[in-house]
Structure 1
């Protein structure tokens, strides 16, 4: 069975080895189901379901399910039928997965991939639909330990190595090799946090003029999951000499790849893809190929070996695009003043996804989160002990100067780092501001309950602590009680809908 073009390089699925084992009817039905998915994928250019996902259903799911079917056929002493696949059959398969010895997350992934195929068969009326138990692998996500972000020394080593390789690429001539393309892709990923598949599938016209700023471009990539288009603003550096002293800007790297590999691209079957090269070795020597995950992995391995990059323990560094993405997002988190909404927005997903899969609370989180601003009580003001300087209202409380304050961008735009207000010396809280302060307070409580994640609690629990222990005691208890309850029942419009903050941040 063939698959459409995809970033993994997998073009065919071999069902032949599963026939002749007493379950040919089931094998044929699963093949038909995947064939339908592949046709829909081709007709929609991968927008319904990516070819990589279909390949995963086969390699990760059916590779376990079809041998199980053969075992069941042998146990029954007859050919397996489609009506044999019922709830009890599914329970037996789950039990088999649990006895396989793999990790809980691997078991769940195999089951989920298989379930997707069986669900398609159920939709076609070939088998019953109500054959799946509810959540057969509870808390399996907790057993998965995601890759850690690069430490700062590791990140610097990677960036210095990328800079050295990019300098050599810039000075070179002619089409880029697959390993040089891998370096270019890593450089783009390190600067943008782009996902692996959208990076491999970048188009030659992925750079578009910025609609407002002449010195900027926007990078357009497509994320298949969620059927979303991700648009990211990039600064354009026109002076090519600046590329020698620093890692080139993303726009210039894309221009370089597009120009240097124009000939291989035009002679290939992928004229619209950015990362296309002429193969120089192996069975594909001389052919025009697209960069795939497998070839990218080889390029990353060669890059690491070339520079002998080690991790914090002195062992060879493990690197891939997703680890660069996670590192990128955590740097955004730090540079944005630990603002989850702005970080998630720039990362191209929701705060919940950021918290669960990307962000790690820095060790200095509790030390960093302390009140830096000023509390003004009516009593102090009335006795003349505090000079009431002009302030401006913000969604949190007040600011001495939203244009030129301590954390303001100082570029003519108002500061919007609202969750960093507590660590800003321009921050001011008066009794009139408690309604907005507690509106934020209850929003963060709601986020903690809904989002979970120890890292998130470690970081944003400190905002609640500041409000409870440093701000609240300085005001009359009656005023605090009234404003706290008011904010809980009817929060300030800015903090009323947490999801809305993704657009505001």
Structure 2
């Protein structure tokens, strides 16, 4: 079997006028259609106010021309992320009496001022609302507006300022600030798989309330993601011929495509025998291939009513709301996100901390990689399963260290130097490995050498070798450690702080001391058994620790 690259249709409709190419948008509002995302509407009427019609027209024409080389989804993100943020900067300049109405007014100095202005902005929505823009967010805005302006320079150099240029790297090392996608823990995996198995029984064995079409697609999307480690886009674009023959009689290929680079990836999967294949409609499939075949048969009745370009895709659904209600379309990322959110809420999924969480397909990929690495111990097999070109990519971003590796390393190291250590503390090696604390600090930590006024510190030394004695800062410090023996001292401080509240200015309390009380109640108390917390509270009320018998200085 030969896996060929996917054919890309790059044909465009360009009109000519006496030999001169004319490629202008039909108006201020237009639709850009795309094979992968369908039609997306653009409305540039929003940018015509305050005398900026000329620059708005230039950017509108640029976005329209870029449709030949970029997906409409990417262009829409350029508008939402780049142009809208740049327009807010222009509004700020207009309020200061400076009006930018032409592209010729945009030069390197203005770009530098734009970058400086972004450093002073706060997020107005999302989980980071009220906080300053993160560096990755500012980088995304910069890349979007830079891409548009560079295309303007290529498309119509005469309309652009000659001094327009961009800093080479305004946000160095920004990639290091993006946290890697963490795999799910074993207990969280069990919770997710249990929820999926419950829904599979509902689908195949008619147990419980019947699921909607979107939820059926969601269940199989999560099943395939957990089993193969494929990304969301590759799974949404599975086609009906994605299962192909393997050279071995007991194996099959699941072929997925990746848009970036137009690459295909073939995952070898176990082939079911004929008896298993005949029963996939009446019982839960036992392998990936049969899960795919069931899903393909489930959406097969929708093929005739779907658009011709969508008929070969497996993830077909009936639109249940909006102007296109009843229409057959492919499941998009936003549809998948909403369905996964409903799935997580319906099963009341909770993580290891007892908090509700929403399943993320981007975390299922490193979860599969970590599990495979723990089973085999072979990083090359993980690289092949994920389809990475370099093993360094797999090791850096996906395959976490096998469970127990830090403990084993710390135990071996301790055995090598144990003959030189006179004072031993039971369990210090494992505590150092689990807490990622230097082994040299554990003796002092457990032996009360690193005690603070409220708890303990894993490393009380500063860069200039001085000792930290700011106990209020402990509650924001990652080196703070609280053992069961420290609860009496901690709650003595807790009740002393409450007794002094009447002497503290309300604003100062809300800013400094209130968050400390809240952190003890929520973040620290929840880590210990309730009976231990109650005993420490009672002891602190009756006989406070000597450190906190007197008033706070």
Task: Specify the TM-score bucket, using the shorter chain as the normaliser.
Answer: 0.5 to 0.7
- Distance (whole Å) between structure 1 residues aligned to residue 135 and residue 102 of structure 2: 29
**What per-residue deviation string (whole Å, max 9, x for no partner) do you get for residues 322-369 of structure 1?**
111121122222233141x33223212233433443333345224456
1:96 corresponds to which of 117, 137, 145: 117
1:326 aligned to 2:366? yes
CA gap of 1:256–1:327, structure 2 versus 1, over 3 A, is: same
- 1:257 paired to 2:326: no
Question: Which residue of structure 1 lines up, in the alignment, with residue 201 of structure 2?
Answer: 167
CA contact 1:122–1:129 (8 Å) conserved in 2: no
C-alpha contact (below 8 Å) 2:253/2:268 kept by paired residues: yes
Contact between 2:205 and 2:282, CA under 8 Å: does it hold in 1? no
Measured in 2, the distance between the counterparts of 1:21 and 1:355 equals 52
Matched, 1:231 2:276: no
> Counterparts of 1:235-246 in structure 2 under 5 Å?
235-238=270-273, 239-240=276-277
Residues 95 and 338 of structure 1, relative CA distance in 2, 3 Å threshold: farther
- Asked if 2 retains the 8 angstrom alpha-carbon contact of 1:196 and 1:322, the reply is yes
State the distance in 2 between where 1:67 and 1:6 align.
Answer: 32
- In the TM superposition, what whole-angstrom CA distance separates every residue of 1:175-214 from its partner, at most 9, and x where no partner exists? 971111011111111111111112112222222212x112
User: Could you say what secondary structure the match of 2:40 adopts?
Assistant: coil
1:206 aligns with 2:242: yes
Of 350, 360, 375, the residue aligned with 1:335 is 375
| Greater Cα shift, 18-27 or 250-259 | 18-27
Does 1:20 find its partner at 2:55?
no
Q: 1:66 to 1:307 in 2, by over 3 A?
A: same
1:147-168 Cα distance to aligned partner (Å, 9 max, x none): 4210011011111211221232
- Partner residue, 1:346: 385
Corresponding residue number in structure 1 for 2:103: 82
Identify the residue that residue 50 of structure 1 maps to in structure 2.
71
**DSSP 3-state at the match of 1:266:** coil
Structure 2 gap segments, 5+ residues each: 1-29, 122-131, 413-553
Do the aligned partners of residues 96 and 227 (structure 1) sit closer, same or farther apart at CA in structure 2, a change above 3 Å counting?
A: farther
Does the Cα contact within 8 Å between 1:166 and 1:247 map onto a contact in 2?
Answer: no
Structure 1 216/318 Cα, relative in aligned 2: closer, same or farther at 3 Å?
Answer: same
Residue of structure 2 equivalent to 1:33: 62
Alignment CA distance shift 1:51-1:314 (3 Å):
same
| Bigger radius of gyration among the two | 2
Distance in 2, Cα, partners of 1:122 & 1:95 = 23
Against the structure 1 CA distance between its residues 369 and 160, is the aligned structure 2 distance closer, same or farther, given a 3 Å change threshold?
same
RMSD: 3.0
**1:277/1:289 contact within 8 Å kept:** yes
After superposition, give the CA deviation of every residue in 1:398-457 in whole Å (9 maximum; x if it has no partner). Answer: xxxxxxxxxxxxxxxxxxxxxxxxxxxxxxxxxxxxxxxxxxxxxxxxxxxxxxxxxxxx
> Number of aligned pairs?
362
Which position in structure 1 is the counterpart of 2:495? none
CA spacing shift, 1:176–1:214, aligned 2, 3 Å:
farther
Contact 1:221 1:230 in 2 (8 A): yes
Q: CA deviation at 1:295?
A: 1.4
Give the equivalent residue in structure 2 for 1:415.
none
Residue among 221, 237, 250 paired with 1:185: 221
- Find 2:357's aligned residue among 309, 317, 321: 317
**SS of residue matched to 1:325:** helix
C-alpha contact 2:81 2:141 (8 A) present in aligned 1: yes
**What is the match of residue 172 of structure 2?**
138
Say if 1:8 and 1:293, in contact at 8 Å, map to a contact too: no
1:3 corresponds in structure 2 to 32
Would you say 1:194 and 2:230 are equivalent positions?
yes
Q: Give, in whole Å, the separation in 2 of the partners of 1:132 and 1:191.
A: 44
The alpha-carbon distance between structure 1 residues 84 and 202, as it changes in their structure 2 partners (threshold 3 A), is same
Q: Aligned partners of 2:269 and 2:68: how far apart in 1?
A: 36
Do the aligned partners of 1:26 and 1:82 also contact (CA within 8 Å) in 2?
Answer: yes
Asked whether 1:216 is paired with 2:251, we answer yes
Distance 1:266 1:334 in 2: 45
Q: CA deviation at 1:114?
A: 1.9
Q: Bigger relative contact order, structure 1 or 2, given CA contacts below 8 A and separation 6+?
A: 1
Residues 227-306 of structure 1: matches in 2 within 5 Å? 227-238=262-273, 239-240=276-277, 248-269=286-307, 270-306=310-346
Question: Alpha carbons of 1:206 and 1:76: their partners in 2 closer, same or farther (altered >3 Å)?
Answer: farther
Q: How far does the alpha carbon of each residue in 1:271-301 deviate from its partner, in whole angstroms, 9 at most, with x for none? A: 1211011233454331112111111112112
Q: Is the 8 A contact 1:176 1:277 kept in 2?
A: no
Is the partner of 2:303 in helix, strand or coil? helix
Give the deviation of 1:28 after TM superposition.
2.2
How far did 1:260 drift? 1.8
Structure 1 unaligned residues grouped into runs of 5+? 41-48, 373-505
**Residue 307 of structure 1 pairs with residue 347 of structure 2:** yes
Query: Which SS does the other structure have where 1:97 is aligned?
Result: helix
Change (3 A) 1:190 1:51: farther
Q: Deviations over 1:4-46 (max 9, x none)?
A: 3466677222322112233323322222222223234xxxxxx
Cα distance, 1:237–1:345 mapped onto 2, change above 3 Å: same
Return closer, same or farther for 1:75/1:247 CA change in 2, 3 Å cut-off.
farther
Counterparts of 2:112 and 2:288 in 1: how far apart (Å)? Answer: 50
Contact 2:349 2:358 in 1 (8 A): no
On the 8 A contact 2:199/2:219 being kept in 1, the answer is yes
What's the TM-score, normalizing by structure 1? 0.65
Q: CA deviation at 1:235?
A: 1.5
Q: How does 1:379-418 map to 2 (within 5 A)?
A: none
